[in-house]
């Protein structure tokens, strides 16, 4: 967008359905040159893989969701029946409610901690900040399955590390794998895994704030906190939005952690604990592939809507800030 020769284009972000229409070419056909077509050549390999492994399954899911397949009686067209069933399905509602609660609580905490850590490491008031940066990022290297396995051992009320430590002090450990605590326990695993990742995105954004801004602030006599508030935070807005959107997507995709912990708490973590677990169990334990596809489509749509809403809120906040 810095060069006048380069045309403007749709901004990243809103995947509105309109955007999927073929571009209007009538008035512009003559503008394309051989050189432009070379650009298409650069994009083509990615698009081929993308269409094959993302677009096609998406369309296939749509197609499947209009059918029903029975163990006795085979497959037949059911129109929107799977969708009306899913929209009224209390199990799906329960799962969605759970991930929304998770989203509302865990994501702000995780990003808050990540933000704090990024600002702290960037502040120059920390000895060995490089070491902290690497250490905090390390859990990202741990596969979520392994992370959930480890924490599962640690959480144990009787024999886990938590239980053993409470025992040492003669206290009653919290039942971290019970219904009351489970979502928080999962939230802890996700926070542990991705805090450093988010910290790094935010930290990287802090590193590229132009030096002049700081110099100006210093001349104004602004303290560290004020600098953080009035210079760093606004500059972090895009990065924060990125982390929020990733976290929203991650919350709706929640599967590995609860699925691993299920062997420790089979009645707390039901087969429909998260929408994604529900879709998986419908398809692979119940052979209800078609209904599962409808559930997947609905969850996908909701994710897109929530991510889009987050972006709108962020933009509005930005507009408000600018117009002041």
Partner 1 sequence: MNTTRARLQRSTGIAATLALTLGLAACGGGDGDDTPGSADGVTVADIDAVLESDEEVTIEYWTWVPDIQDTVDLFEETYPHITVNVTNAGQSADQYTKLQNAVKAGSGAPDVAQIEYFALPQFALSEAVVPLSEVGLGDLEGEYAASAWDQVSVSGAQYGFPQDTGPMVMFYREDILADLGVEVPETWDDFVEVARAIKADNPDNYITSIDPGDAGGVDSLIWQAGGRPFSVDGTTVGVDFTDEGTQQWTELYDTLVQEELVDVTAGWNDAFWRSFADGKYAMWLTGAWAPGSIRNNIPTSEGLWRAAPMPTYEAGTPMNAENGGSAITVMQQSDKKAAALAFARWMTTSPEAVLSQSQAGLFPATTGIMEDPEFLGTEDPFFGNQKTNEVFVEASQSVSSGWQYLPFQVYANSVFGDTAGQALSNATPLADGLQTWQDEAVSYGAGQGFTMAD
Partner 2 sequence: MSTEARTPAPVPTDNTTTPGDPPRTGGPRLSRRPPSSGRTRSSIPLTVVMVAMFVYVLLPLVWLTINATKTNGGLFSSFGLWFADDFALWDNLKALFTYQGSVYPRWLANTVLYAGVGGVGATILATLGGYGLAKYDFPGRRAAFAIVIGAMTVPMTALAVPTFLMFSELGLTNTVWAVLVPALASPFGLYLMYVYAQDSVPDSLLEAARLDGASELRTFLTVSLRLLSPGFVTVLLFSVVATWNNYFLPLIMLSDPKLYPLTVGLNQWNDQAGSSGQGEPVYNLVLTGSLVAIVPLVIVFLFLQRFWQSGLAAGSVKQ
For the segment 143-162, give every residue that binds partner 1 (CB under 8 A): 152-153, 156-160
Tell me the CB-side half-sphere exposure of residue 147, using CA atoms within 13 A. Answer: 21
- Residue 265 binding target from partner 1, partner 2, none, CB below 5 to 8 Å by type: partner 1
Stretch that binds partner 1, among 97-105, 202-210, 242-250, 261-269 (CB under 8 A): 261-269
The mark string for 173-212 relative to partner 1 (x by CB under 8 A, - otherwise) is ----------------------------------------
Residue 169: contacted member of partner 1, partner 2, none (CB under 5 to 8 Å, by partner type): none
- Residues 179-218 binding partner 2 (CB under 8 A) are 192, 195-196, 200-205, 207-214, 218
Contact partner, 256, from partner 1, partner 2, none, Cβ < 5-8 Å per class: partner 2
Half-sphere exposure (CA, 13 Å, Cβ side) for 241?
Answer: 19
Among 2, 172, 267, 285, binds partner 2 (CB under 8 A): 2
Partner that binds at residue 245, options partner 1, partner 2, none, CB closer than 5 to 8 Å by kind:
partner 2
Nearest residue (CB) to partner 1, 79 versus 223: 79
Span interacting with partner 2, options 71-79, 88-96, 102-110, 126-134, rule CB under 8 A: 126-134
Question: By CB under 8 A, is residue 74 in contact with partner 1?
Answer: yes
Binding site for partner 1 (CB under 8 A): 69-75, 152-153, 156-160, 262-268, 270-272, 281, 284-288
């Amino acid at each position: 967008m810095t060069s006048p020769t380069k045309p403007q284009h749709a901004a990243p972000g809103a995947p509105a359905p309109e955007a999927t229409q073929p571009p209007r070419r009538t008035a512009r056909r003559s503008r394309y040159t051989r050189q432009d077509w070379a650009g298409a050549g650069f994009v083509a390999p990615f698009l081929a893989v993308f269409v094959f492994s993302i677009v096609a399954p998406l369309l296939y899911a749509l197609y499947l969701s209009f059918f029903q397949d029975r163990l006795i009686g085979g497959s037949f067209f059911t129109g929107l029946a799977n969708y009306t069933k899913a929209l009224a399905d209390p199990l799906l509602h329960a799962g969605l409610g759970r991930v929304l609660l998770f989203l509302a609580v865990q994501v702000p905490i995780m990003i808050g901690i990540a933000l704090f850590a990024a600002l702290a490491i960037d502040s120059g008031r920390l000895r060995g900040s490089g070491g902290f940066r690497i250490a905090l990022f390390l859990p990202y290297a741990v596969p979520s399955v392994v992370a959930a396995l480890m924490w599962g051992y640690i959480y144990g009320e009787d024999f886990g590390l938590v239980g053993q430590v409470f025992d040492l002090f003669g206290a009653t450990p919290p039942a971290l794998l019970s219904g009351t605590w489970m979502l928080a326990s999962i939230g802890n695993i996700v926070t542990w895994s991705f805090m450093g990742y988010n910290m790094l995105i935010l930290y990287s954004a802090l590193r590229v704030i132009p030096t002049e801004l700081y110099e100006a602030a210093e001349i104004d006599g602004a303290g560290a906190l004020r600098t953080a508030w009035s210079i760093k935070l606004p500059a972090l807005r895009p990065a924060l939005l990125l982390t929020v959107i990733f976290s929203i997507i991650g919350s709706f995709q929640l599967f590995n952690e609860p699925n691993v912990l299920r062997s420790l708490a089979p009645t707390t973590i039901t087969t429909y604990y998260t929408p994604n677990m529900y879709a998986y169990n419908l398809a692979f334990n119940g052979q209800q592939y078609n209904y599962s596809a409808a559930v997947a489509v609905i969850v996908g749509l909701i994710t897109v809507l929530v991510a889009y809403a987050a972006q709108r809120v962020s933009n509005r906040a930005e507009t408000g800030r600018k117009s002041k």
